[in-house]
Amino acid sequence: MNPNKKILIIDDEFFFRKILTDALSNGYDIIEGENGDEAISLALAHKPNLIIMDVEMPVKSGIEACKVLKSIAETSHIPVILFTSRSKKEDLILGLKAGADDYITKPINLSEVLARVDAHLRTRDYYTELEHKDLLFLLELSENISALRSPMAILRLIVDRMNDIVDVSRCSIVSINDSGEAFVKASSDLKMNDEIKLELFKYPEIRKSFESKQTVIVNDIKTDPLMNSVREYIQDLDYNSIVVIPIIKKESVIGTFFLRTASPYKNGITVRIQKLCQLVANISANALENAILFESMKTAQEYFEDMSIRDGLTKLYNHRHFYNRLEEEFSRANRYNSPLSLIFFDIDDFKRVNDIYGHTKGDKVLKQIGQLLKSVARESDIAARYGGEEFALLLPNTNAAGALDVTNRLSAIIREHKFEKMNGEQITISAGTATLLGKNIESYEQLVRLADDAMYKAKKHGKDCITQA
């Protein structure tokens, strides 16, 4: 790292700036600011080599500041890394549209931050081992990848072009999902859109890269101790060395991808191949992730609309959308004289879960409760996270008996569910139901009050029970 290179860190939280400054000050000159306006003025004054900026800031947001910086000739070339919460994917798309070069989600992993900073500030010395055709290849690959919106097309382009430019036996992109299953998503010896599931225990080099989130190089598969456990599987392979490089490490967004290149060279992975693979991984990462984000919804507009009505953690409807739908369904039920039931429930002793197992585990419990709620709900029902550990389920065309049946099933499913790493501890709920039938309830607000009161009666009655209004 070059100490003459300057990094501008912009965040309104002093503690966060200090963490980044402590991590980066040994290798770079650090300039600090607190808001988007300071980002612009400090960038113009100091001409930093890199800007790291939070999205959510007072006065001017990171997205607004990025848009301005990219519109000014003096600062447009400076790479910008944005920090944003994992739950706010809409910020990612807005930031990229504003011209951001990269982003990292909070809470941060310092090793990932250092790797990203190093990738954006690599000196010219890094390229000395590359050939002229390599530089032309990287330029061409970058331009082609940026124009693609299909993740599979990007993966295919990477493996095909790597196979053309470097004398390798096989170039593959491997993905590991949240369940720890590994799949070859694209390979120079696979047809387009073909996919192969890997038995990960047979690929210790991929497993090590996944666990360490670092590049793994095996210069001789016959002698490297890492390969001892799979020696019987590799005796007849037509390659001698392997390099595995993580392409994308933001697992919470799309999963983990690895560029795996196998080479026949007897002297191991050359510096040229290693650097070329690393650069391909770097320039592929943003475009690949952007493509997957955009593909997740038919259009960006649909994405924004859906995110605006969802709870970020559970992906159930949020409090505001719940009330919009409640008002609509109440009006419809009155118009057609049909029943409408509402269930409110609260997780019993949820504070204890947070106190004993931590808020991260508490969040996972909330997410799993959301999934269990969706498993009980019909397509016409409206399931929502009402707030904190409270949930709601609106049941159109459902009478009081039907609401009680659904609540009993939901309560049983949650009680019997084995929550991960909870030492077998049982989670229970207290629930209340209320039903509009004829003109017995005057407004949707009254329906909410009745269901809410019934829920609190259930809690007072000893929890893990159901009360009907």
Same-domain pairing of 256 and 334 = no
- Give tens-digit pLDDT for 330-352: 999 998 899 999 999 999 999 99
pLDDT of residue 186: 85
Q: Do 275 and 314 reside in the same domain of the chain?
A: no
459 and 435 belong to one structural domain: yes
> What pLDDT does 304 receive?
67
Identify the CA nearest to 215 among candidates 152, 279, 167.
Answer: 279
pLDDT at 33: 94
Which CATH number do you get for residue 349? 3.30.70.270
Listed residues 60, 95, 120: the one ending a domain: 120
Point out the domain boundary residue: 74, 96, 120: 120
Residue 283 domain flag: yes
pLDDT of residue 205: 92
Q: What is the CATH number of the domain that holds 241?
A: 3.30.450.40
Q: 413 with 322, same domain?
A: yes
Residue with tokens 């949650």: 414
Which pLDDT score, from 0 to 100, does residue 296 have?
A: 56
User: Beta strand 216-218 with 80-85: parallel, antiparallel or unpaired?
Assistant: unpaired
Residue 303 covered by a domain: no
Edge-first strand order for the sheet with 182-187 is 196-198, 182-187, 170-176, 256-263, 241-248, 216-218
- Write out residues in the chain with pLDDT < 70, as ranges: 1-3, 86-90, 92, 122-128, 146, 149, 193, 248-256, 286-304
pLDDT 10s digits, 352-402: 998 888 888 899 999 999 999 999 999 899 999 998 999 999 999 999 999
- The verdict on residue 40 lying in a domain is yes
What per-residue confidence (pLDDT) applies to 256?
A: 61
Question: pTM for the full model?
Answer: 0.43
- Residue ranges making up the domain that contains 176: 124-295
- Let me know whether 267 and 388 are in one domain: no
For residue 32, the domain's CATH number is 3.40.50.2300
Angle in degrees, 0-180, between the axes of helices 300-308 and 89-97, rounded to the nearest 10: 140
Q: Let me know whether 161 and 267 are in one domain.
A: yes
Alpha helices in 25-104 (DSSP H): 36-46, 62-71, 89-97
User: Residue 302: inside a domain, yes or no?
Assistant: no
Looking at the structure, do residues 259 and 182 belong to the same domain, yes or no? yes
Task: Tell me what pLDDT residue 222 has.
Answer: 86
Do residues 22 and 142 share a domain? no
Q: Which residues contact 263 (CB under 8 A, 6 or more apart)?
A: 166, 167, 168, 169, 239, 240, 241, 242, 243, 269, 270, 273
- Which amino acid would we find at residue 237? L
135 and 258 share a domain?
Answer: yes
- Looking at the fold, whether 136 and 269 belong to one and the same domain comes out as yes
User: Domain for residue 442, yes or no?
Assistant: yes
Kindly state whether residues 375 and 271 are assigned to the same domain: no
Over the stretch 184-193, which tens digit does the pLDDT of each residue have? Answer: 888 887 877 6
- Answer yes or no: is 140 within a domain: yes
Residues 241, 232: Cα–Cα separation, whole Å:
16
Give the number of domains in the chain: 3
For residue 304, being part of any structural domain is answered with no
- The number of C-alpha atoms within 13 Å of 42 and in the hemisphere containing its C-beta is 24
Residue 150 and residue 18 share a domain: no
pLDDT for position 251: 43
Phi, psi of 240 (to 5 degrees): -120, -25
From 94, 120, 146, the end of a domain falls on 120
Residue 301 located in a structural domain: no
Token couple for 368: 């799993």
User: Catalytic amino acids?
Assistant: 389
